[in-house]
């Protein structure tokens, strides 16, 4: 009898901890109305995007988002560009303490950048717009995020479509916090869209965060970037 209880307990523990949902996202570059984009170049980048997909794996408490492995048939310049624009490199995680972490390799060093405060400061506006993505009714939320690069400060327009029908607050590239899973995320002209959703499946591939990387805040990360930039421009020509 003791053995039966023990087995049942172990089985329940296993089922609870290995049950997770898996969402596949694709990324594409949208044509804007500025008229400045090189349409041929955009098409070439989008054809490189077709080689890339991303997976969000989550349970009730934590999530991990990363790019899937792809066949590296000698990185073309377009694929290289596709890889670096609009985020998606490295591993994005949301842990049990609701921290939004980004594991990246940056100029030869491994870092864990904490974006929690940066994302929490975003002022999202929910409107009445709705649409269906992958048969799930989604609602729209928009915000702007100020980003910095060596040439100044810029406002990024961010649009998230979340579905209250999917009981999770996670989403792609570390965004989330809505009463429903984000099925589409647009950052300026880059759009992530969910193409495949598998809910509550038993999967042996557990959610595991990378083990390496120096923990830094987002502001420290900006400081490091500024120092790297100074170093770069002071390099002898």
Partner 1 sequence: MKKIILTALLTICLTNSGFANVIISDCTQFAHDAVAYEEEQLGVQYDFNTYLEVMNQWDMLCKAAEQ
**Positions in the binding site for partner 1 (CB under 8 A):** 29, 31-32, 34, 36-38, 41-42, 45, 77, 81, 84-86, 104, 106-107, 147-151, 154, 156, 188-190, 221-222, 225-226, 228-229, 232-233, 235, 237
In this structure, what are the phi and psi dihedrals at residue 216, rounded to the nearest 5 degrees?
-140, 155
Dihedral of alpha carbons 72, 75, 76, 79, sign: positive
Provide, rounded to whole angstroms, the least separation between the CB of residue 87 and partner 1.
8
Provide, rounded to whole angstroms, the least separation between the CB of residue 52 and partner 1.
16
Question: Please, are residues 180 and 162 in contact by the beta-carbon 8 Å criterion?
Answer: yes
Nearer to partner 1, 34 or 123 (CB): 34
H/E segment holding residue 5:
helix 2-18
Nearer to partner 1, 23 or 173 (CB): 173
Nearer to partner 1, 80 or 196 (CB): 80
Nearer to partner 1, 44 or 160 (CB): 44
Provide, rounded to whole angstroms, the least separation between the CB of residue 108 and partner 1.
11
Cα torsion through 82, 87, 91, 95, rounded to 10: -160
Provide, rounded to whole angstroms, the least separation between the CB of residue 125 and partner 1.
21
Cα torsion through 211, 176, 85, 44, rounded to 10: 120
Lookup: tokens for 45: 């980048």
Nearer to partner 1, 25 or 221 (CB): 221
Residue 12: count of CB within 10 angstroms of its CB: 10
Provide, rounded to whole angstroms, the least separation between the CB of residue 8 and partner 1.
49
Q: Three-state secondary structure along 25-73?
A: EEEEECCCCCCCCCHHHHHHHHHHHCCCCEEEEECCCCEEEEECCCCCC
Nearer to partner 1, 9 or 229 (CB): 229
Task: Give, as one character, the DSSP assignment of residue 3.
Answer: H
Provide, rounded to whole angstroms, the least separation between the CB of residue 119 and partner 1.
14
């Amino acid at each position: 009898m003791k053995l039966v209880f023990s087995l049942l307990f172990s089985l329940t523990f296993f089922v609870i901890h290995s049950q997770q949902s898996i969402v596949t996202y694709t990324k594409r570059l949208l044509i804007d109305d500025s008229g400045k984009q090189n349409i041929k170049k955009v098409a070439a980048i989008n054809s490189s995007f077709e080689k890339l997909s991303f997976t969000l794996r989550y349970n009730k408490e934590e999530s991990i988002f990363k790019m899937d492995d792809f066949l590296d048939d000698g990185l073309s310049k377009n694929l290289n560009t596709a890889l670096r624009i609009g985020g998606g490199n490295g591993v994005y995680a949301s842990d049990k303490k609701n921290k939004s972490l980004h594991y990246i390799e940056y100029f030869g060093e491994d870092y864990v950048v904490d974006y929690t405060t940066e994302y929490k400061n975003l002022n999202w506006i929910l409107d009445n717009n709705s649409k269906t993505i992958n048969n799930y009714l989604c609602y729209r939320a928009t915000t702007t995020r100020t980003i910095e690069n060596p040439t100044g400060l810029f406002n990024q327009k961010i649009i998230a479509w979340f579905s209250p029908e999917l009981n999770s607050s996670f989403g792609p590239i570390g965004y989330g916090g809505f009463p429903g899973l984000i099925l589409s995320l647009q950052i300026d002209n880059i759009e992530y869209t969910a193409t495949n959703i598998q809910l509550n499946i038993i999967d042996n591939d557990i959610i595991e965060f990378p083990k390496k990387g120096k923990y830094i805040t987002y502001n420290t990360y900006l400081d490091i970037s500024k120092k790297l930039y100074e170093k770069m421009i002071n390099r002898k020509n």
